């Protein structure tokens, strides 16, 4: 068998995982109980490995805040000293089948959404969305008030959320995506339909388990709630795809505010890193400028790996308008994604795109060979913490070139 034939065979296996996956949200548990390899002194962060000497402020604050939240340190200053000394370990979340949106981090006691792919058996994890309050650890903000919110979220909300999910028998993510097809969500940065459908399905169980009134209100009033179950679902698919050797399909990507990295099935948890792009589009406040922006930060783009966001920009025309773009650009983004992808989802066809499905399974060979870069949607962060806005970013070619060289080494071509 030629090398090309071996790659084709491996890619077919990965695409079967992507296209036949059936991720189901089954539980909410403390990370240390369910995430393989999770330890009390380990804090998982978004994006590729971090150079501690060049870490951006919001992520440093989130990591240090999580350490205080776990009672590993008394202050954020002490926590960071412990990180530098190696007493508190940090690692990329995607190396642990997890994903952290924006500047969010994951620590041992934090409750995480557990999603299982019933077809391949893969599992993925993500913390639930914290709600519509802009002052959250998710955006690198931490003080006594945020700490109090984290405790309420962990101790007074998520146990009920877990009970509701368990009692329901599990939330079928594909079912929600199918029911909301054609309702304007691109499902990375815009998911009101998915969130409403999820709320509609889960709310009776949440009420039956006598969840506190505040918890129910926060859950029902959050139109971004569906993002995090979808991140965990994407992670469950990628966890299985990473087990396939010799495949050139992208199975992970994310930014840490400084660097951007991608992962490829054939080399598992290896990261191929470049300077992160900026997410440009619209700002939440008119006085914000590009100078206020961090570079790409967060793992929520794992949903793009599974075919959402910029990959299916055409599914979310309103997001294009919101971020200062056009429907024509949405068509272009989706066509670009199709040209470098190996498959197409069938469960959520886009009515105004002749019922075509969403492209999925980016082949790094096609990206480099055709010089076509996928475009990711995303929320942008402020250097000082907090959200700056939302928009899109072209993924860095350098990551894909390095990944191609990495695969060539793996296949002993070079």
Partner 1 sequence: MMDIGKILDLFKSELVVINVGSHTFASALEKQGYTAVQVDWVPPAGGDKKLQEILKIMGGLH
* Contacting range for partner 1; rule: CB under 8 A; set: 97-105, 139-147, 271-279, 358-366: 358-366
* Contacting range for partner 1; rule: CB under 8 A; set: 36-44, 72-80, 304-312, 369-377: 369-377
Residues 232-271 that bind partner 1 (CB under 8 A): 248
- Look up residue 90 and give its two tokens: 């940090």
Does the protein bind partner 1 through residue 203 (CB under 8 A)? no
Instruction: Determine which helix (DSSP H) or strand (DSSP E) holds 231, and give its type and residue range.
Output: helix 227-241
Please answer whether residues 76 and 140 qualify as being in contact, where contact means their C-beta atoms are separated by less than 8 angstroms. no
For the chain, the helix, strand and coil percentages under 3-state DSSP, each to the nearest 5: 45, 20, 35
Does the protein bind partner 1 through residue 4 (CB under 8 A)? yes
Q: What are phi and psi of 155, to 5 degrees?
A: -100, -25
Q: What is the DSSP string of 112-153?
A: EEEEEETTT--EEEEPPP--S-SSSGGGT--SHHHHHHHHHI
Choose between 256 and 334: whose C-beta lies nearer to partner 1: 334
How far apart are the two ends of the chain, measured CA to CA in Å? 18
Please answer whether residues 257 and 59 qualify as being in contact, where contact means their C-beta atoms are separated by less than 8 angstroms. yes
Return the ∠ at Cα 322 (arms to 276 and 346), rounded to 5°: 80
Residues 126-185 that bind partner 1 (CB under 8 A): none
> Min. distance of Cβ 7 from partner 1 in angstroms?
6
Q: What are phi and psi of 173, to 5 degrees?
A: -65, -40
Options 174, 203, 331, 405; binder of partner 1; rule CB under 8 A:
405
Name the β-bridge partners of 288.
none
Does the protein bind partner 1 through residue 366 (CB under 8 A)? yes
Does the protein bind partner 1 through residue 398 (CB under 8 A)? no
> Min. distance of Cβ 116 from partner 1 in angstroms?
31
- Per-residue binding letters, 6-45, with partner 1 (x by CB under 8 A): -xx--x----------------------------------
Does the protein bind partner 1 through residue 371 (CB under 8 A)? yes
Does the protein bind partner 1 through residue 69 (CB under 8 A)? no
Using CB under 8 A as the criterion, which residues of the chain lie in contact with partner 1 when the complex forms? Answer: 2-4, 7-8, 11, 248, 363, 365-366, 368-371, 397, 401, 404-405, 407-408, 411, 413-414
């Amino acid at each position: 068998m030629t090398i090309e034939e071996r790659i084709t065979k491996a890619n077919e296996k990965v695409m079967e995982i992507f296209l036949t996956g059936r991720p189901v949200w089954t539980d909410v548990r403390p990370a240390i109980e369910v995430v393989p390899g999770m330890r009390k002194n380990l804090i998982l962060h978004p994006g590729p490995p971090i150079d501690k000497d060049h870490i951006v402020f919001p992520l440093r604050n989130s990591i240090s805040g999580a350490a205080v939240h776990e009672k590993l340190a008394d202050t954020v200053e002490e926590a960071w000293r412990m990180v530098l000394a190696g007493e508190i370990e940090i690692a990329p979340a995607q190396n642990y089948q997890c994903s952290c949106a924006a500047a969010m981090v994951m620590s041992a006691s934090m409750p995480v959404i557990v999603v299982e792919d019933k077809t391949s058996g893969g599992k993925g994890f993500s913390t639930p969305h914290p709600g519509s309050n802009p002052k959250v650890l998710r955006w690198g903000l931490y003080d006594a008030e945020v700490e109090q919110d984290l405790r309420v979220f962990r101790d007074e909300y998520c146990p009920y959320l877990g009970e509701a999910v368990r009692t329901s028998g599990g939330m079928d993510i594909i079912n929600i995506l199918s029911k909301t097809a054609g309702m304007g969500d691109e499902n990375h940065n815009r998911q009101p339909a998915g969130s409403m459908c999820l709320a509609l399905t889960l709310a009776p169980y949440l009420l039956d388990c006598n969840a506190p009134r505040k918890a129910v209100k926060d859950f029902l009033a959050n139109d971004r709630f569906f993002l995090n179950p979808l991140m965990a679902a994407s992670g469950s698919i990628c966890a299985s795809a990473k087990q396939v050797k010799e495949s050139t399909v992208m199975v992970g990507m994310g930014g840490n505010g400084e660097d951007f990295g991608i992962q490829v099935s054939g080399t598992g948890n290896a990261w191929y890193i470049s300077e992160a792009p900026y997410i440009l589009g619209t700002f939440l406040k008119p006085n914000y400028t590009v100078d206020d922006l961090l570079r790409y930060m967060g793992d929520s783009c794992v949903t793009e790996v599974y075919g959402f966001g910029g990959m299916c920009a055409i599914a979310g025309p309103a997001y294009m308008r919101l971020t200062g773009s056009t429907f024509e650009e949405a068509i272009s983004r989706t066509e670009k994604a199709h040209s470098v992808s190996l498959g197409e989802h069938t469960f959520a066809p886009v009515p105004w795109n002749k019922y075509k499905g969403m492209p999925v399974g980016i082949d790094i060979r096609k990206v480099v060979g055709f010089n076509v870069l996928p475009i990711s949607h995303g929320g942008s962060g402020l250097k000082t913490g907090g959200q700056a806005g939302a928009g899109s970013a072209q993924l860095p070619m350098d990551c894909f070139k390095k990944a191609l060289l990495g695969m060539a080494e793996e296949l002993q071509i070079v």
